[in-house]
Amino acid sequence: MENSAFSNISHGVQQPLNTPPESPTKAAPPRSRFGHAHKKTESWSSLNHIVEHGIAIPTSPGSHNTIEVPATRSPDAHASQYMNQLSAPPSMKERRLSRNSFGAALPIPRSKRQSRLSSVTFADVQDALASATGARPDMAQMQPTREILASRVQDVNAEKVRGAKNMAFVFDIDGVLVHGDRLIPEGQKVLSMLNGNNELGIKIPHIFLTNGSGKPELARTEQLAKILQNPVSTDQFIQSHTPMRALAEYYSTVLVVGGEEYRCREVAEQYGFKDIIVPNDIVAWDPSIAPYRVFTDAERASSRPRDFTQVEIEAIMVFSDSRDYATDMQIIMDLLRSKKGRLGTTAEDPVSERIPIYFSQGDMLCPTEHPIPRMSQGAFRIGLEAMYKALTGVDLERVVYGKPELATYKYADEVIASWMDVLHGEERVPENVYMIGDNPASDIVGGNMYGWNTCLVRTGVFQGGENDEENPANFGVFANVWEAVTTACRKQLGPDFKFEWDDRVNPVLHGKASAIV
């Protein structure tokens, strides 16, 4: 189930927190789950640089529920390529030995997700959809009859059933299945087929892996299920900050940034963070900290102000896109330049006393209802990096989750195996995993490096030629998600595989529809 190059981590043998993991530049190239060296693209180790002496996140006594995965993004600020030399930065060789020269590890949850996120089940969402379509609660369901018939069909098509259970799909969401709140029609059709509307009546495993963020998982899956008119469970859903719940075991008092209203505070509460601060709390305490902000009475009433000169904020978590760049950047910059996260102070050393900052994803662009993709969290991060370097002369080191980060894909393996257990009672990762995405720089490059089959669709960010030149999809480029999925199914299940269930099917005829007289 795990990428073999990182098996020492995936099987629970953690590096000591004060000892950095071995640099992948000294190790063999990453291999796929089945021992085949990657041939399609550069590996994580050759594409990125890891700090050799960076110190991992703080020790948390009694913390045994996380896995620490080596970070694969460069710790150096991406802003440097966009900037003139504003000043000569001090040598970073020695400074990277400091406590906050992090970037060596990204914690992800070790165990399966439990009811902390939600207790919603596949059946729960089906009931909700039935309610939304006007079905009576006492109405007899016909599905058990169909399941019995499908079971008989599967009994006489054992080879195809094995193939269907040995493949899985990983879907990006925005630009693949939806555009914001607007459905991409092929997305609904694909999910219907994978949820059993096929010749075997079998559920083909699939999960959702998105760099979207800003809402609790349950709220996002309910919204997605309504748009797609198909059940979506939290147990098959990963948004960019979902793996970041592991950080609650390391930090207690955190600043959470981004998202609409106070939804990201709700996310952090569900993840188990103890003391959660949002920018509005700080503005309510001292409006002069954000001189260009118009702070309404309603915002003040819903804030939680206190004397933040007496509070040590341990880390900054950017969970989602900022809705107010000026205010969020000002507060983050004050904290990054403070003495160990205490507002109103200024650190003597901008590195050794700096608190860590985590970003849930690094995408520059995101497809929306607007015809041209909009700037995303990556643009906000680059702006912060440029501002920090201009003020301090030092590159901002940071940790970035989300695609194409290795930690996200390792966590996806855990979720795929768990969902396979829900569907088919087999807790494993199928051999043939297909990543369907629209962004070559995140969906495709990450899937390629993890040994997945990657499919690039033209309904989102990518609008190029035959394939992306820098990060080509190894399985192909398709007009939409339906073409990608059906092509993959025909490869694994045969060219004659039918993508619709026929109620006239007769198991005696080996899955073929009976003749109508």
DSSP conformation letters of 427-455? -S--SEEEEEES-IIIIIHHHHHTT-EEE
What pLDDT is recorded for position 33? Answer: 32
What pLDDT is recorded for position 455? Answer: 97
Helices (H), 96-169: 122-132, 143-155, 158-165
| CA–CA gap between residue 305 and residue 313 (Å, rounded) | 14
Q: Domains in the chain, please, with CATH?
A: 128-234+411-417+425-509 (3.40.50.1000), 242-400 (3.40.50.1000)
Cα-to-chain-centroid distance, residue 103: 18
What pLDDT is recorded for position 118? Answer: 39
Tokens of 487: 């092509």
What pLDDT is recorded for position 463? Answer: 86
Cα–Cα nearest to 259, from 163, 348, 175, 324: 324
DSSP conformation letters of 170-203? EE--BTTTEETTEE-HHHHHHHHHHTT-STT--P
pLDDT in tens, the chain (517 residues): 433 333 333 333 333 333 333 333 333 333 333 233 333 344 544 444 333 334 345 655 455 677 887 766 554 455 555 443 333 233 332 322 222 234 457 888 875 544 334 334 444 445 544 544 444 444 444 455 778 888 888 888 899 999 999 999 999 999 999 988 899 999 999 999 999 999 999 999 999 999 888 888 999 999 999 999 999 999 999 999 999 999 998 899 999 998 888 888 999 999 999 999 999 999 999 999 998 888 888 888 899 999 999 999 999 999 988 889 899 999 999 999 999 899 999 998 878 888 989 999 877 777 777 888 788 888 899 899 899 999 998 888 888 888 888 889 999 999 999 999 999 999 999 999 999 999 998 899 989 999 999 999 999 989 888 999 989 999 999 999 999 999 999 999 999 999 999 877 655 555 455 433 2
Tokens of 335: 């904290």
Upstream peptide bond of 404 is cis (omega within 30 degrees of 0) = yes
